[in-house]
Amino acid sequence: MKLLHIIILILIVFRMDFGFSQTVVPKEENNAIPQKNISNTREETIREESLEEKKLEAPVSKKAKSSAYRSDAESKDQNLKVKEQQATQFSNLKKNVQYKRIQKNPTPEEQKQLNEVVDYYGTNFPNSFEYHYFKFAASSYDLKEMGHLLEAEKLKPNNVDVHKMLVACYYLKNDTVALRKHLKILKESNVIQADLIDYASDMLTSSSKNAFLFTHGFDDSYAILYQQQINGYRKDVQLVSLDFLQSESQQLILKTKGLKLPASLVVDTAYFKKLLEMNPQNNWNISLTIPKEYLLGVKNQLYVHGLVFVYSNLKMENNFFMNDYLWHEQLNKKVIYSYQSDKAKLLSSNYLPMCLLMKKVYVQKGDVDQIQQLDDTINRISIQSQKKKEVNALNQKN
Residue 273: burial class (beta carbons within 10 Å; 0-12, 13-18, 19+): middle
Whether 209 maps to a domain, the answer reads yes
Q: Would you call 14 helix, strand, or coil by DSSP?
A: coil
Domain that holds residue 190: 81-317
Structural contact between residues 201 and 346, judged by C-beta atoms closer than 8 angstroms: no
At residue 62, the pLDDT reads: 56
For CA atoms 78, 79, 80, 85, give the dihedral sign: positive
397 inside domain: no
In a domain, 364, yes or no: no
pLDDT for the residue 41: 38
Q: What is the pLDDT of residue 79?
A: 83
- In angstroms, the CA 131 to CA 145 distance is 12
Residue 398 lies in a domain: no
Instruction: Name the least confident of 71-85, 145-159, 295-309.
Output: 71-85
Instruction: Return the pLDDT at 395.
Output: 73
Question: Residues 342-370: what's their mean pLDDT?
Answer: 95
Q: Are 172 and 249 in contact (CB under 8 A)?
A: yes
Q: Report pLDDT for 49.
A: 37
**Concatenated DSSP letters of 320-341:** HHHHHHIIIII---HHHHS--S
| 80 pLDDT tier (thresholds 50, 70, 90) | confident
Specify if 368 maps to a domain.
no
Confidence bin at 53 (pLDDT 50/70/90): very low
Domain count for the chain, please give it: 1
The reply to whether 377 falls in a domain is no
Mean pLDDT across 365-377: 97
**Per-residue confidence band for 92, with pLDDT thresholds at 50, 70 and 90:** very high
| CB of 341 closer than 8 Å to CB of 371 | no
CB-based burial of residue 299 (10 Å sphere; 0-12 exposed, 13-18 middle, 19+ buried)? Answer: middle
- Residue 331 covered by a domain: no
Amino acid (one-letter) located at 151: E
- Span 282-301, pLDDT tens digits: 999 999 999 999 999 999 99
pTM of the model: 0.83
Whether 224 maps to a domain, the answer reads: yes
Q: What is the pLDDT of residues 218-269, one digit of tens each?
A: 999 999 999 999 999 999 999 999 999 999 999 999 999 999 999 999 999 9
